[in-house]
Amino acid sequence: MPWSITVGRFGGTAVKIHITFILFLAWIAGSAWAREGLSAALDSTVFILLLFLCVVLHEFGHILAARRYGIKAPVVTLLPIGGVASMQSLPKDPRQELVVALAGPAVNLVIGLALFLAWGSLRPGEFAEIDNPHLSLVGRLAAANLFLAVFNLIPAFPMDGGRVLHALLAMRVGGALATEIAAKIGQAFAIGLGFLGLFGNPLLLFIAIFVYMAAAGEAQMSASAQALRGLTVGEAMETRFTPISMDATLAQAVDALIATAQQEFPVVDAFGKPVGLLTREDILTAVRKHGGDEPASGVMRVGVDSVRPAAPVESVFERLQDPKAPALYVTDAEGVIVGLLTRQALAEIVLIRSVRPDWRFGRRA
Ligand code: ZN
C-alpha cells in the first residue's frame, strides 16, 4: 500500500503504518486536548496506541496460524479501520480456513481476559463506555479487546466471522455455494447494521457500507470463478495479437499501440518465445522519459507467468488478480507463444455466461 511507513519487522512480516492512521491519531489527541487538556490528550493517545498494538497482535494471530499451512504474509498495514494482513493466498481447505479465521479474535479474547483478571473487577456498565477517559486504562483496554473479539466474529465479510461462516458452510455444501450463501448473509447483516446506524451511532452506518461492499465483491469474484468453470485456457485466450520483437525500439512499440486495439503486448525473441510484457501504460510512461530509439525491452515487465492451453482457467484465474500481471502468456510445448490470457477476455466470457450460462466457447478453428 503506498503512503505507508515501515515501523518494524517480526519473522518474515513487515509492520507498516498508513499515513491516515497517523492523521487519525493526531485527530484523537487534538480533539481530547481541546476538550479536556493535555493529560486527556496523552491518555487518549496512549490508549489508541495500545489498542492498535492489540490489533497488530490480532493480525499476527492470523499470520502465525496461516504460516502453519505454508502461507506467508509479507506485510501488515495499520489503517484507522484496523489492521490488514496481506496474505499470499487464502487456505483452500475449510478446516485450515476456520483455524486461520479464529486465530485473530482468539488473540483479543486472551488479551482481554488476561487484562480483566489483572485488573480485578469490571462492572458491566463500563463495557458501554470504553471511550470514557475517567475509567482506568487497563479496564478500558480489557473491554476494548473483548469488544474486538466479538465484533470480528460478526458473520459477515470482511470480518473474521464471515470467514468462519464460509469455512463451516464449505465443509457442508462445497466452496462455491458456501461463498454465495456467506455473501448473502453478510449483506443481510450489513443492512441490519445500517439500520442500527441510522437510529444510533453513525459509525455503524459507515461500517455497514464497508461490509456490504466487501460482501458484494466476494460474491462477484465467486460468480466470475463460477462462470469460468470448465473452460480451458485455450478456449479463453486471445489468439489475434501483435507481439513486439525483442530488438524493437520504443518508437516501434508506439506504432504497434496505435495500429492495434491491444492493451498488452508480449515481447518475444527470434523463436517467438515470450521474454517480457509491455502494457499500454508501460509504453505511455516510457514515452515520457525516453526517446524513440530506446530499446522497448528496456521498459518491459519480466517475470510474467506462462500457462499451457490445456490448463483449466480456474487454476490460473487467481494469478490474473495480481496488478503486476495483467495478462499471462499461453505457450506450446516448445515455449512458443500461441495466445494471451487477459482480464479483458475473461471479463467478456463472464458477461456472456451471465446472460447465456450454457454458451460454449472455443469452437473457433
Ligand atoms: Zn481478523
Query: How far apart are the C-alpha atoms of 204 and 82, rounded to whole Å?
Result: 15
The mean pLDDT value of the chain amounts to 84
Distance of alpha carbon 204 from the chain centroid: 22
Query: How far apart are the C-alpha atoms of 32 and 322, rounded to whole Å?
Result: 42
Q: Which pLDDT belongs to residue 122?
A: 55
Q: Pull the grid cell for residue 286.
A: 516510457
Q: Is 342 helix (H, G, I), strand (E, B) or coil?
A: strand
Residue 315, Cβ neighbours under 10 Å: how many?
A: 11
- What separation in Å is there between the alpha carbon of 66 and the centre of ligand 1? 12
Domain definitions of the chain by residue range: 1-153, 155-228, 233-355
Q: Is the pLDDT of residue 130 over 60?
A: no
What is the tens place of the pLDDT at every residue in 137-185? 888 888 889 888 988 898 887 788 988 998 999 899 887 788 888 888 8
- Interval 318-343 mean pLDDT: 87
Cβ neighbourhood burial of 138 (10 Å; 0-12, 13-18, 19+): middle
Closest CA to 323 of 340, 308, 301: 301
Percent pLDDT > 70 in the chain is 93
Q: Which pLDDT belongs to residue 132?
A: 56
pLDDT category of residue 78 using cuts at 50, 70 and 90: confident
Q: Pull the grid cell for residue 249.
A: 525500439
Contact assessment for residue 191 and residue 183, using Cβ atoms and an 8 Å cutoff = no
Q: Which pLDDT belongs to residue 333?
A: 92
- What separation in Å is there between the alpha carbon of 286 and the centre of ligand 1? 41
Q: Which pLDDT belongs to residue 128?
A: 55
What is the tens place of the pLDDT at every residue in 6-15? 888 888 888 8
Q: Is the pLDDT of residue 31 over 80?
A: yes
Residue 260, Cβ neighbours under 10 Å: how many?
A: 12
- Interval 260-276 mean pLDDT: 93
* 128 vs 2 pLDDT, higher one: 2
DSSP H helices in 120-173: 137-152, 160-173
pLDDT category of residue 332 using cuts at 50, 70 and 90: very high
- Interval 189-215 mean pLDDT: 79
- 59: annotated active-site residue: yes
- What separation in Å is there between the alpha carbon of 47 and the centre of ligand 1? 20
Q: What is the enclosing helix (H) or strand (E) of 62?
A: helix 38-68
Percent pLDDT > 90 in the chain is 30
- Name the residue with cell 462455491: 176
User: Which residues make beta-bridge pairs with 337?
Assistant: 331
Give the CATH superfamily of 233-355. Answer: CBS-domain (3.10.580.10)
**Catalytic choice (36, 59, 126, 318):** 59
Q: Which pLDDT belongs to residue 365?
A: 40
- What separation in Å is there between the alpha carbon of 209 and the centre of ligand 1? 18
Q: Is 240 helix (H, G, I), strand (E, B) or coil?
A: coil
Backbone phi and psi for residue 339, each to the nearest 5 degrees, phi listed first? -170, 175
Residues 6+ apart with CB under 8 A from 100: 62, 65, 66, 69, 71, 90, 91, 163
- Residues lying with their CB under 5 A of ligand 1, a single-atom ion: 104, 160
What is the tens place of the pLDDT at every residue in 95-110? 999 999 999 999 999 9
Cβ neighbourhood burial of 270 (10 Å; 0-12, 13-18, 19+): exposed
Q: Which pLDDT belongs to residue 135?
A: 65
Q: Which pLDDT belongs to residue 120?
A: 63
- Name the residue with cell 521474454: 275
Q: Are strands 82-86 and 75-79 parallel, antiparallel or unpaired?
A: antiparallel
Q: Which pLDDT belongs to residue 83?
A: 79
pLDDT category of residue 227 using cuts at 50, 70 and 90: confident
Contact assessment for residue 51 and residue 141, using Cβ atoms and an 8 Å cutoff = yes
Most confident of 72-86, 124-138, 272-286: 272-286
- Name the residue with cell 456467506: 182
